[in-house]
Amino acid sequence: MLKRYLRLLGIQLKASGLLSLQYRADFFTDGVTSLFWTFTALAPLFVVYGERPNIEGWNFGEALLVVGWFTLLQGVLEGAINPSLTGVVEHIRKGTLDFVLLKPADAQFLVSTQRFQPWRAFNVLTGVGLFIYAFSWLGRWPSVPGLLASVLLLGTSTLLLYSLWILTVSAAFFVVRVDNLTYLFSSIFDFARWPSNVFQGVGRGVLTWVFTFVIPLALMTTFPAEAMLGRLPPQSLVGAVVGAGLFAWGSRQVWLRSISRYTSASS
Amino acid sequence: MSARTTLRALPTLLRVAFAEAVAYRAEMLIWVLSTTMPLVNMVLWIAVARDAPVGRFTEADFVGYFLATFAVRQLATSWAAWLINWEVKQGTLAMRLMRPISPLWAYGMESVANFPLRLVVAVPVILLSVALVGAKAVPQHAWQWGFFVLALVGGWAIAFLANVAIGALCFFLESSERVLEVWLVLFFVCSGYMYPVELLPPTLRTLIDWLPFRYQIGLPVEMLTGAFGWEESVRLLLAQWAWVAGLGAVAAVVWTQGVKRFAAFGG
């Protein structure tokens, strides 16, 4: 079973890879635009830390790590998650989702792997570059357990991001015109670019609570950055892994519930 | 295409565009909700200003500034560049060109017709700002209100004309969406959208005073929050309208030269 799905994933990856190779020049144009957009995340940091050495216990280098994680996850989102799931919305609108549902494999798996855009993942490289810059600014390197924990958290962050996306796409079965819901999603994700401690002062910590438990943005960028710095408490690590698992399970249930409501558009 | 026919057509164009805006109101609401950037940055600056004010900005001033930014952004905005790119690619621009009135009027009216609905969002945000910050969130004198309206109209004109100029570049480049992205990044960084421009170091601020971006968002916001005295306001407004005139000339030239190269595909 698992082997079959791995093979399927391989085939889907190969198809997307071949398609991207036809548009090799995109590597440069996407790369340059990605670097440009990264600048919009960095500019406020430069201005803020020009005024203050330390904000809510985060200095410039540490906050830079959070921006690095934000950029990296944006790369994952735009390269691996967005292209497929935008396709689902199109399928639902046109009624061509029928063809996917007819295939003898899990529909969620098929729609989530239908399209990858490797060039869009340039942000992953930019994110890694930011990590290196941040640690050279801090004048030290991350510890090995810290790095391992952050790699584990990269997995949970991706899982969370993907689950949130599945939830957004499930909404497409109900409201159809969902293509700008994807923009809404990215703009909410924008809140993940600062360390979550920044939100403490707003509404007596309600915002921190929301971004940890309801829309788990803090888990995605702040936790891995703290893990790299070696100051993430072990119980938070366990909490993040368990929480991401629960979240993924929940979104799977919502997806199954939504797809049962799908009525083909054509007939 | 005399001035009289154009004038006669405008009310009808406006009515049609308004009906369209009402029909797609849910979509507009999602666009409005995706304007999270001012709020993302507001949260950061509140955290920065918690202990001591930054420049002349206290916590409350930042709330006022960014809520004003949110409101102004709803009005001083345009998406004509996307529209032009899309219609040129689809060939549907041909339909617009057959009408005895320049398509630019239609694009402009489409934006203007959105104002009533967008005001429904912007006005409550300003009222919220008054409730949170107090009376200083809005101008105290009649002349300041007048200047604010002038600055807002100028800001919209800059957004619209720049969009037309960039959109019309697609007649030469096949697609000018990348150019638009570069413009947007510069807009984010230089316009006062992410931080008040007066917090930048003096050399950068001089540079930004010469660029068009800060006149699109920053100036209307500063007029609304009463940042400047009479003389400084007049100087900045003159600079803004000089940019409106300049961009208007550029947009007219690029459009008229570009549209000659247009060849519709299909029928």
Within a domain: A222: yes
Question: Across the interface, do A39 and B27 touch by the CB < 8 Å criterion?
Answer: no
Instruction: Return the number of other C-beta atoms located less than 10 Å from residue A18's C-beta.
Output: 9
Please report whether residue A266 resides in a domain.
no
- Give pLDDT, residue A261: 78
CB contact under 8 A, A198 and B43: yes
Query: How far, CA to CA in Å, does B234 sit from each of B136, B145, B148, B183, B219?
Result: 20, 13, 11, 27, 11
Query: Contact B178/A202, CB-based, under 8 Å?
Result: no
pLDDT given at position A179: 64
What pLDDT score does A120 carry? 75
Q: Which of A33, A34, A47 to mutate to test the interface with B (most CBs of B within 10 A)?
A: A47
Measured in angstroms, the CA of B41 and the nearest CA of chain A are apart by: 8
Whole-angstrom Cα distance, residue A128 to residue A124? 6
Residue A163 lies in a domain: yes
What are φ and ψ of residue B57, in 5° steps? -95, 120
3-state SS class at A212:
helix
Report the alpha-carbon distance of residue B99 to residue A129 in Å, rounded: 52
Select from A164, A77, A155 the least CA-distant residue to A116. Answer: A77
- Answer whether B47 sits within 8 Å of A198, measured CB to CB: yes
Query: Residue B185 and residue A39: Cβ atoms within 8 Å?
Result: yes
All residues of chain B having their beta carbon less than 8 Å from the beta carbon of residue A198 are: 43-44, 47
CB contact under 8 A, B200 and A47: yes
Whole-angstrom distance, CA of residue A151 vs CA of residue A224: 8
Amino acid at A3: K
User: Is residue A253 very low, low, confident or very high in pLDDT (cuts 50, 70, 90)?
Assistant: very high
Task: Note whether ipTM > 0.90 here.
Answer: no
Chain A interface with B: residues with Cβ < 8 Å: 29, 33, 36-37, 39-40, 43-44, 47-48, 50-52, 55-56, 177, 180-181, 183-184, 186-188, 190-191, 193-194, 197-202, 207
Domain count, chain A: 1
B32 CA to centre of own chain: 14
- Judge whether A172 and A99 are in contact, CB under 8 Å: no
pLDDT value at A266 more than 60 = no
- What is residue A265's predicted lDDT score, i.e. its pLDDT? 59
Give residues with Cβ within 8 angstroms of B45, minimum separation 6: A48, B54, B57, B62, B66, B195
Q: How far apart are CA A218 and CA A199, in angstroms?
A: 10
User: Predicted confidence band at A203 (pLDDT cuts at 50, 70, 90)?
Assistant: low
- pLDDT tens track, chain B, 267 positions: 578 888 888 899 899 999 988 888 877 888 888 888 898 888 888 888 888 888 888 888 999 999 999 999 999 999 899 999 999 888 888 888 888 888 999 999 999 998 999 999 899 999 999 998 888 888 888 899 999 999 999 999 999 999 999 999 999 888 888 889 889 999 999 998 999 988 888 888 899 999 999 999 999 999 999 888 889 999 999 999 999 999 999 999 999 999 888 876 554
CB neighbours of residue B125 within 10 Å: 17
pLDDT at A101: 83
Residue A125 CB: number of other CB atoms within 10 A? 15
Tell whether B45 is within 8 A of chain A (Cβ): yes
User: Which residues form the domain of A30?
Assistant: 2-259
B150/A contact by beta carbon, under 8 A: no
Q: Is the pLDDT reported for residue A267 higher than 50?
A: no
Average pLDDT over residues A232-252: 90
Mean pLDDT across chain A: 83
The tens digit of pLDDT for each residue in A1-31 reads 888 888 888 888 888 888 878 777 777 877 8
Question: Do the chains contact at A181 and B37, CB–CB below 8 Å?
Answer: no
Q: Do A180 and B31 touch (CB under 8 A)?
A: yes
Residue A267 domain-assigned (yes or no):
no
Residue A58 φ then ψ, to 5°: -120, 125
pLDDT at B267: 44
Which pLDDT belongs to residue B224? Answer: 92
- Kindly determine whether residue B189 and residue A207, on different chains, have CB atoms separated by under 8 Å: no
Please judge whether A52 and B48 are an interchain contact, meaning their C-beta atoms are less than 8 angstroms apart.
Answer: yes
- Closest-CA residue of A relative to B35 is A187
Of A74, A53, A73, A42, residue with least CA distance to A194: A42
Closest to B104 (Cα-Cα) out of B182, B163, B183: B163
> How many beta carbons lie within 10 A of that of residue A213, not counting itself?
12
pLDDT at A144 exceeding the cut of 80: yes
3-class secondary-structure state, position A190: helix
The Cβ of residue B238 has, within 10 Å, a number of other Cβ atoms equal to 10
Q: Which of B43, B182, B188 has its CB closest to that of A202?
A: B43
- Report pLDDT for A64: 92
Contact A258, A173 (CB under 8 A): yes
pLDDT average, residue stretch A206-219: 78
Please give the helix or strand (H or E) that residue A55 lies within, else none: strand A54-55
Does residue A265 form part of some domain?
no
Give the span between the Cα atoms of B177 and B186, in whole angstroms: 14
From A39, A190, A198, residue closest to B36, measured CB to CB? A190
